[in-house]
Amino acid sequence: MKIALFGYGKMGQMIERTALDRDHTIVAKIDIDSQEIDFSNIDVAIDFSLPEAAFGNISKCLDNNTPIISGTTGWLNKYDDAVTLCKEKQGAFIYASNFSLGVNIFFELNAHLSKMMQGLEQYQVAIEEIHHTQKLDAPSGTAITLAEDVIKNSHYNAWKLNQKEQGHIPITSKRIGSTPGTHTVAYNSLVDDITIKHTAHNRAGFAQGAVIAAEWIIGKTGVFTMRDVLNLG
Ligand SMILES: NC(=O)C1=CN([C@@H]2O[C@H](COP(=O)(O)OP(=O)(O)OC[C@H]3O[C@@H](n4cnc5c(N)ncnc54)[C@H](OP(=O)(O)O)[C@@H]3O)[C@@H](O)[C@H]2O)C=CC1
Ligand SMILES: O=C(O)C1=N[C@H](C(=O)O)C[C@H](O)C1
């Protein structure tokens, strides 16, 4: 597969290593939006760039009939526009706040647990995420996905960053050293706590999931999620 990388930072470089190990070729590394791109030589694009760059990169790929996988977080106010454009162009697009297999299993566990906790209002839910100090966005995209899945199955109707407010799920964001990504969902009561936690040891799982998604999307049309790719639905 001929892959173009939008963003050649920590994730772009990890994805390059994973893609080469799986016998793919990197045909372009795009780091700024003014760069000329030969879309005729690209099978699939993978975007791990910046919150302000992601939507432009995704649009460019859809406009040029190139399937696009995006893992960039912090741009979701434009997600619905990306979905509309993908349908209009009959393109192929996957966004995931987290591409790792482990976190996608954790998402399933979180959704299941939130259904079990439905109506047990003696428990207060709280989410914590810890990442490296270079991370630009807070809360993490993964923490937002976790909160949204709890909201679907509970009396909570929104989340709030680093603050407690009635009816809101508190998300605490911490930035410590080079932490690749740790997420905890806790249900706390006066008599006990229930906690589920995912700890990434490095970025390899994110990169592997993104390359698997890129392999999976070839020849498909539509807007997909990692649930489709991993057949978890
Ligand atoms: N979904 C998932 O599984 C994961 C998502 N992420 C997300 O991926 C994103 C990238 O993370 P990470 O690699 O750690 O960040 P980095 O800061 O290491 O890399 C981002 C790269 O994007 C480049 N860039 C800037 N502008 C553009 C542009 N217009 N087009 C393309 N590239 C551009 C930057 O270049 P320059 O330095 O020159 O500005 C930089 O090289 C973040 O949003 C992060 O949250 C991270 C890990 C897993
Ligand atoms: O910026 C990161 O590093 C990560 N970002 C993603 C997020 O915001 O959830 C995924 C992962 O936790 C690493």
Q: What is the pLDDT of residues 171-219, one digit of tens each?
A: 999 999 999 999 999 999 999 999 999 999 999 999 999 999 999 999 9
For each of the domains in the chain, give its residue range(s) and CATH number, in order of start.
2-99+204-229 (3.40.50.720), 101-199 (3.30.360.10)
Q: What is the pLDDT of residues 113-163, one digit of tens each?
A: 999 999 999 999 999 999 999 999 999 999 999 999 999 999 999 999 999
Say what the pLDDT of residue 54 is: 97
Rounded to two decimals, the ipTM of the complex is 0.99
What spatial distance separates the first Cα and last Cα of the chain, rounded to whole Å? 27
Ligand closest to 51 (CA) is 1
CA of 203, closest atom in ligand 2: 13
- Give percent of the chain above pLDDT 90: 95
Instruction: For 129-142, give the DSSP string.
Output: EEE-TT--SSS-HH
Q: What is the mean pLDDT of residues 70-88?
A: 98
Rounded to the nearest whole angstrom, what is the distance from the C-alpha of residue 107 to the centroid of ligand 1?
A: 23
Q: CA-CA distance, 35 to 57, in Å (whole number)?
A: 11
Tell me the DSSP string of 189-220: -SS-EEEEEEE-SSSHHHHHHHHHHHHHHTT-
The DSSP string of 162-182 is T---TTEEEEEEEE-TT---E
Q: Amino acid identity, residue 30?
A: I
Are 129 and 97 in contact by the 8 Å Cβ rule? The answer is: no
Residue with structure tokens 């939006």?
Answer: 33
Q: Which of 107, 114, 94 is nearest to 228 (CA)?
A: 94
Structure tokens at 163: 């603050």
Q: Which amino acid appears at position 193 of this protein?
A: D
Q: Give pLDDT tens digits for 8-65.
A: 999 999 999 999 999 999 999 999 877 789 999 999 999 999 999 999 999 999 999 9
CA 133 to chain centroid, in Å, comes to 18
Q: What is the pLDDT of residue 34?
A: 74
| Residue to mutate (ligand 1; options 13, 18, 31, 79; most atoms within 8 A of CB) | 31
pLDDT of residue 125: 97
Whether 130 contacts 182, CB under 8 Å = yes
pLDDT value for 168: 96
Ligand 2 atom with the smallest distance to the CA of 74 is: 8
Residue whose Cα lies nearest atom 5 of ligand 2: it is 140
**How many CB atoms are closer than 10 A to CB 219?**
8
pLDDT at 233 over 80: no
User: Given the structure tokens 């000329």, which residue do they identify?
Assistant: 36
CB 200 within 8 A of CB 100: yes
Q: How many residues does the chain have?
A: 233
pLDDT of residue 197: 98
> What pLDDT does 9 receive?
97
pLDDT of residue 81: 98
